[in-house]
Amino acid sequence: MKVLHIPCLDDNYSYMIIDETTKEAAVVDPVEPHKVLRVAQENEVDLKFVLTTHHHWDHAGGNDKIKQLVPGIKIYGGSVDNVRGCTDKVENGDRVSLGVDISILSLHTPAHTKGHISYYVTDKEGEDPAVFTGDTLFIAGCGKFFEGTAEQMYQSLCVTLGSLPMPTRVYCGHEYTVKNLQFALTVEPDNAKIAQKLAWAERQRRVGLPTIPSTIQEEFESNPFMRVDLPEVQDKVGCKSPVEAMREIRQRKDNWKG
């Protein structure tokens, strides 16, 4: 399984997932279809379907166009998310296969939008798993709770995504990592993992490289929103429960002027 980054708009990423045995491919959130098709041609792959994480225009806004450009392409999207151009609605636990080797599991991860789907992707051996988290889980951050609650985001991040294997690579929808880590340091100023990752992320961005992917393990080490189960993090923000800490940290992030 091969994953290609496709930078779009100002700070979005689309991703191409390629089954190397059959040269069949899927694309996550193809907001700029012409860029996606150019990458498909360069890699000589057959684009089979689209995986849409959620209905916001900067993720689903290219779906209608890619349907025109690739006749017969399937567009997957969350069953309650009203995704533009959707041909095949998915719910939590639904599976889709790509080529002969790749299995894609739909995970309902609401809060940013009510029908947000993250896609957990494994090859035949189950090795090198990846998850495409849209705007639910960012590197060292999470999406705003536009259509949901702190309880839902806690469930989405710490239970649903947090139960994936620790080495799972995390591919999110935006390049927000540097700002997220700067904020994370305001929550945990003594967390060396955050400081180290921030220095690395700043180096990556200076030379125009992505900070993605991360891993689930790294997120448990440096993402304040995935560390809310820890008593020391709850204490830092004056809270007594994980959900309360999730709500408090999100409010602080929303008001942060970093």
Over residues 56-94, the pLDDT tens digits come to: 999 999 999 999 999 999 999 999 999 999 999 999 999
Q: In the chain, helix, strand, coil percent, each to 5?
A: 35, 25, 40
52: left (phi over 0), alpha (psi -120 to 50) or beta: beta
Question: Which residue numbers are catalytic?
Answer: 54, 56, 58-59, 112, 135, 174
- pLDDT tens profile 182-209: 999 999 999 999 999 999 999 999 999 9
- pLDDT tens profile 30-39: 999 999 999 9
Averaged pLDDT of the chain? 97
- pLDDT tens profile 210-236: 999 999 999 999 999 999 999 999 999
* The predicted structure's pLDDT at residue 21: 94
Percent of the chain exceeding pLDDT 90 equals 97
* The predicted structure's pLDDT at residue 192: 98
Residue 213: cis peptide before it, omega within 30 degrees of 0: yes
* The predicted structure's pLDDT at residue 128: 82
Q: pLDDT at residue 42 above 80?
A: yes
Binned at pLDDT 50, 70 and 90, residue 124 comes out as confident
Locate 254 and state its tokens: 């929303």
Taking CA atoms, 215 is separated from 87, 204, 206, in Å, by 31, 17, 22
Q: pLDDT at residue 115 above 90?
A: yes
Asked whether the whole model's pTM tops 0.85, one would answer yes
* The predicted structure's pLDDT at residue 52: 98
Mean pLDDT of 111-124: 96
Q: What DSSP character marks residue 174?
A: B
- pLDDT tens profile 140-179: 999 999 999 999 999 999 999 999 999 999 999 999 999 9
Question: What is the widest separation between alpha-carbon atoms in the chain?
Answer: 55
* The predicted structure's pLDDT at residue 258: 84
Identify the burial level of 44 via C-beta atoms within 10 angstroms of its C-beta, where 0-12 means exposed, 13-18 middle and 19 or more buried.
exposed
* The predicted structure's pLDDT at residue 126: 76
Collect all residues with Cβ–Cβ distance below 8 Å to 241 and sequence separation of at least 6: 234
Mean pLDDT of 97-125: 96
